[in-house]
């Protein structure tokens, strides 16, 4: 059974279906991003504008370009048009839609997009946009996408897509219901994402306050002359990091498992992605990506605190739970007997803004390996370090539990949104005027 047959098998008996080519006009734009003096100035609605927005409105900053009169006549977007991406890096992320929700004179459909213009006596544009939001409907496009490193769709594929067609008044009701329902869901998700952002700020504050001020709010403070910790308790010391840690630099610029000189060693090779995804502890590595160990390597012992010093996830920290080797984009820290390992972990997290402020940007951002050790850190008595680390750990567990709950709620809302769209555009949920009144009244 084809994806389209499966999608349409349960639509109501009073609905019909038809090829999209029979109920819409489908155009592939050839308007490029160049500007020529001999052409008419226009604005382009481009791939990213469609991919990142459900609605195309005047709030979008469209690109300035130029076009010939015949291109303007053909590709000027109109209210009710549906624009869809016609290529993608993966076939499961293709035919992403956006509805033209306003009249936008001088805005043309740009290259890499399909312009789907409904024939008004057959299909309602906003309904067609919601239909394209259904993953099950887009499975037709996914199955037909052609490519290797980038996948594309032909006009024939768009024309052959079979569209479930309720009566036009029901298409309008479905649209109104999904507009109101999904707006309420999106608002709830946005609020929860805002709460996640607040938790992130709280996390940073908890670490920074405990590391720099300790746990006693009545303690006497003294200036430190250090930007990232302007004051610390009087009885604490401030010391250079390198005086109390052994710093280990990774050895390789890339995974060396294809070099026969390094075959058959005992240590897995860990990359920066493992650190950024680890949370606090790196507990495992991919055997698939580490088919061979390394016999010649600078080994980081289990329990080493590691930090990325270059790349997109710069200054991320984690702790290894096994012996491993690392590339030269990672530096390791092994504390001495005066510096608690868990406390040092949180000190390095608190130092991140200062490290980022001193980073060097060439082809990619990087932190000078030697200069890290020259940074000052606060050094409380060892027992106080342990208490601070324990306090932060407890607070992180509480914050992480709230974060996990919020992420689960977002996942549930997102799944419900997808399910709701599918049910409505397939007729599994029939929408009445009473449904519209209720959702518009209560959200």
Predicted TM-score of the model (pTM):
0.83
| Domain shared by 17 and 112, yes or no | yes
pLDDT at 349 over 60: yes
pLDDT of residue 354: 87
pLDDT of residue 287: 44
- Asked, for residue 429, whether it belongs to a domain, the answer is no
pLDDT of residue 286: 47
Q: Where are the alpha helices (DSSP H) in 331-381?
A: 341-350, 352-357, 369-373
* Token output for 3: 């994806």
For residue 189, name the pLDDT band (cuts at 50, 70, 90): very high
pLDDT of residue 285: 55
CB 265 within 8 A of CB 295: yes
Candidate from 176-180, 240-244, 329-333 with smallest mean pLDDT: 329-333
Closest CA to 162 of 431, 426, 430, 424: 426
| Domain shared by 73 and 153, yes or no | yes
| Domain shared by 255 and 138, yes or no | no
pLDDT of residue 273: 73
User: Of 340, 361, 379, which residue constitutes the final position of a domain?
Assistant: 379
CATH number at residue 57: 3.90.220.20
| Domain shared by 149 and 279, yes or no | no
300: buried, middle or exposed (CB in 10 Å: 19+, 13-18, 0-12)? buried
CB 303 within 8 A of CB 245: no
Sign of CA dihedral 49, 50, 53, 55: positive
pLDDT at 295 over 60: no
* Region of residue 147 (phi > 0: left; psi between -120 and 50: alpha; otherwise: beta): left
DSSP 327: B
CB 73 within 8 A of CB 94: no
Sign of CA dihedral 170, 174, 179, 184: positive
85/40 Cα distance (integer angstroms): 25
What are the pLDDT digits (tens) for 66-91? 999 999 999 999 999 999 999 999 99
Candidate from 31-45, 167-181, 244-258, 338-352 with smallest mean pLDDT: 244-258
pLDDT at 65 over 50: yes
| Domain shared by 150 and 244, yes or no | no
| Domain shared by 126 and 267, yes or no | no
pLDDT at 289 over 50: no
pLDDT of residue 443: 58
| Domain shared by 146 and 255, yes or no | no
What are the pLDDT digits (tens) for 14-36? 999 999 999 999 999 988 888 88
pLDDT of residue 320: 87
Quote the number of domains for the chain: 2
| Domain shared by 145 and 281, yes or no | no
- Asked, for residue 269, whether it belongs to a domain, the answer is yes
Sign of CA dihedral 288, 294, 297, 301: positive
pLDDT at 2 over 90: no
- Asked, for residue 34, whether it belongs to a domain, the answer is yes
- Asked, for residue 306, whether it belongs to a domain, the answer is yes
Mean of pLDDT values over 416-422: 96
- Asked, for residue 352, whether it belongs to a domain, the answer is yes
User: Of 139, 165, 191, which residue constitutes the final position of a domain?
Assistant: 165
DSSP character string of 29-96: ----S---TTSEEEEEE-HHHHHT-SEE-TTS-PEEEEE-HHHHHHHB--TT-EEEE-EESSGGG---
For residue 298, name the pLDDT band (cuts at 50, 70, 90): low
65: buried, middle or exposed (CB in 10 Å: 19+, 13-18, 0-12)? buried
pLDDT at 301 over 70: yes
pLDDT of residue 395: 96
| Domain shared by 22 and 148, yes or no | yes
392/380 Cα distance (integer angstroms): 15
| Domain shared by 139 and 55, yes or no | yes
DSSP 60: S
Mean of pLDDT values over 84-109: 95
- Asked, for residue 304, whether it belongs to a domain, the answer is yes
Q: Which domain holds residue 89?
A: 3-165
Candidate from 15-19, 245-249, 263-267 with smallest mean pLDDT: 263-267
| Domain shared by 16 and 154, yes or no | yes
Q: How many CA atoms lie within 13 A of 78 on its CB side?
A: 13
- Dihedral pair phi/psi, residue 369, rounded to 5°: -60, -45
CB 306 within 8 A of CB 300: yes
Buried b (16+ CB within 10 A) or exposed e, 88-105: beebeebbbbbbbbeebe
- Asked, for residue 223, whether it belongs to a domain, the answer is no
* Token output for 263: 């075959």
What are the pLDDT digits (tens) for 353-412? 888 887 776 667 888 888 899 999 999 999 999 999 999 999 999 999 999 999 999 999
For residue 288, name the pLDDT band (cuts at 50, 70, 90): very low
pLDDT of residue 394: 96
381/314 Cα distance (integer angstroms): 30
192/177 Cα distance (integer angstroms): 23
| Domain shared by 254 and 135, yes or no | no
As a whole number of Å, the end-to-end CA separation of the chain is 38
User: Of 362, 379, 396, which residue constitutes the final position of a domain?
Assistant: 379
- Asked, for residue 205, whether it belongs to a domain, the answer is no
């Amino acid at each position: 059974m084809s994806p389209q047959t499966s999608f349409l098998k349960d639509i109501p008996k009073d609905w019909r279906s038809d090829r999209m080519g029979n109920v819409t006009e489908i155009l592939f734009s050839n308007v490029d991003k160049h500007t020529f003096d001999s052409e008419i100035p226009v604005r382009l609605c481009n791939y990213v504008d469609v991919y990142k927005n459900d609605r195309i409105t005047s709030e979008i900053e469209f690109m300035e370009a130029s076009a010939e009169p015949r291109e303007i006549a053909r590709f000027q977007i109109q209210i009710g048009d549906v624009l869809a991406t016609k290529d993608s890096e993966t076939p499961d992320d293709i035919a992403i839609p956006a509805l033209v929700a306003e009249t936008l004179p001088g805005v043309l459909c740009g290259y890499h997009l399909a312009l789907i213009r409904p024939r008004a006596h057959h299909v309602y544009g906003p309904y067609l946009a919601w239909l394209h939001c259904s993953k099950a409907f887009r499975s037709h496009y996914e199955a037909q996408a052609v490519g290797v490193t980038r996948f594309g769709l032909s006009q024939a594929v768009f024309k052959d897509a079979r569209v479930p067609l309720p009566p036009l008044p029901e298409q309008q009701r479905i649209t109104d219901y999904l507009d109101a329902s999904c707006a309420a869901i999106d608002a709830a998700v946005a609020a929860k994402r805002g709460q996640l952002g607040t938790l992130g700020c709280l996390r940073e504050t908890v670490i920074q306050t405990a590391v720099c001020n300790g746990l006693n709010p009545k303690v006497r403070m003294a200036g430190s002359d250090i930007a990232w910790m302007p004051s610390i308790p009087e009885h604490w010391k401030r010391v250079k990091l390198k005086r109390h840690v052994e710093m280990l630099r990774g050895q390789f610029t890339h995974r060396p498992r294809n070099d026969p000189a390094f075959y058959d060693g005992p240590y897995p090779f860990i990359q920066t992605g493992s650190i950024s995804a680890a949370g606090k502890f790196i507990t495992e590595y991919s055997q698939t990506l580490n088919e061979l160990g390394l016999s010649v390597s600078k080994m980081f012992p289990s329990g080493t605190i590691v930090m990325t010093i270059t790349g997109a996830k710069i200054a991320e920290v984690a702790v290894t739970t096994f012996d491993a080797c690392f590339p030269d984009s990672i530096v390791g820290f092994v504390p001495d007997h005066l510096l608690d390992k868990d406390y040092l972990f949180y000190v390095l997290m608190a130092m991140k803004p200062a490290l980022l402020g001193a980073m060097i940007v060439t082809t990619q951002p990087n932190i000078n390996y030697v200069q890290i050790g020259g940074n000052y850190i606060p050094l409380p008595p060892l027992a106080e370090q342990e208490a601070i680390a324990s306090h932060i750990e407890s607070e992180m567990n509480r914050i992480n539990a709230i974060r996990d709950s919020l992420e689960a709620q977002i996942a549930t809302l997102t799944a419900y949104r997808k399910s709701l769209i599918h049910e409505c555009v397939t007729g599994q949920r029939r929408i009445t005027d009473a449904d519209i009144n209720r959702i518009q009244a209560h959200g």
